Structures are given as structure tokens and as C-alpha cells.
Amino acid sequence: MQGAGPAVCIGSDIDTDLIIAGRYLRTKDRSVWAEHAFEDLDPALAGRLSGAVIVAGRNMGCGSSREQAVIALREAGVVGIVAESFARIFFRNAINVGLPVIEATVPCTDGAHVAFDLDAGWVEVDGKRYPARPLLERMVAILRAGGLVPYWRSRR
């Protein structure tokens, strides 16, 4: 499974409250979540997410276990997230909703071209390749299916 897009760099220790603030969780309208993604970090960031690859540092998605954070990013059009490390629940929520997450340490400049290949286990930034921690085959299969629910439906 592959993906590519311009980098959106966000740093380390990005918690789920920064991804989607609690004040927007009163609605179940996912487009509202996408529209307000990262609003408290940078109000203009949501407008740059469509087609982008988020590049983060350590502990991406820490904090509360709200699935809405991952859904907000997917609905905003994020292609994938590359980070040095992920909070465990955020990582699994991303797999479950079909948003590729890749553990790798890469340099980041906003707008740099980022490509990844989950099968081969690499991330490229402006043509320079870096190793990525491989995902389990089952996780890649879930991502290919579009998430956990479509994965299980396809197996019936």
C-alpha cells in the first residue's frame, strides 16, 4: 500500500485535544470535525490537510482515546501520518478507520514531497528514502480494505 503528498509538519506530543477540540464533539457531523482539525494548534492547518501526509515527532495522538481525532484527519483528506512514535490507542484507531500510520524518523519541511510504501517499509522525503517500522500483514489488509468494518464485511 502506497501513498504520497506534501508534508504538513506538526511536531511531537500532539494530543487528541489538539487534533479535534472537545467543543466540536457535541456533533456527529464528521465534516465539522474535519473543518476544525488542529484549530487550537494552527487555525489555518485544516485547509492544508487534503491530500497531505502529516509528519510528526514522538507520541503522536497522545491524550484521550477519542476516535473522532483520527476520523477528523481522515475526513479532512489526510493521506497518511508518519511519526517517530504513536500513542497506542491512536495508532490502532487509525488502522481501524483506514488511515495509514507509519513509524519512521524523517526530517520535515512543510510542503516537502513525502511518499510511503507500507509493504516495502519505507518513507521518502524529497527523494531520500528512510526505513519504516513494518506493519503486520493483517494491519495492511485492514488498511487496504478501508478500515476494520469493511475488512470484516469482505471476509464474510
Question: Tell me, what's the pLDDT at 66?
Answer: 87
Give the pLDDT confidence of 45-94 residue by residue, as tens digits: 999 999 999 999 999 999 988 899 999 999 999 999 999 999 999 999 99
Q: Are 28 and 71 in contact (CB under 8 A)?
A: no
pTM for this one?
0.95
Task: Give the helix/strand (H/E) hosting 53.
Answer: strand 53-56
104-115 residue pLDDT tens: 999 999 999 999
Q: Residue written as cell 507520541? A: 59
- Return all residues near 74 (Cβ < 8 A) that are at least 6 apart: 97, 98, 99
Alpha-carbon torsion 94, 98, 101, 102, what sign?
positive
* 147 pLDDT more than 90: yes
pLDDT of residue 105: 97
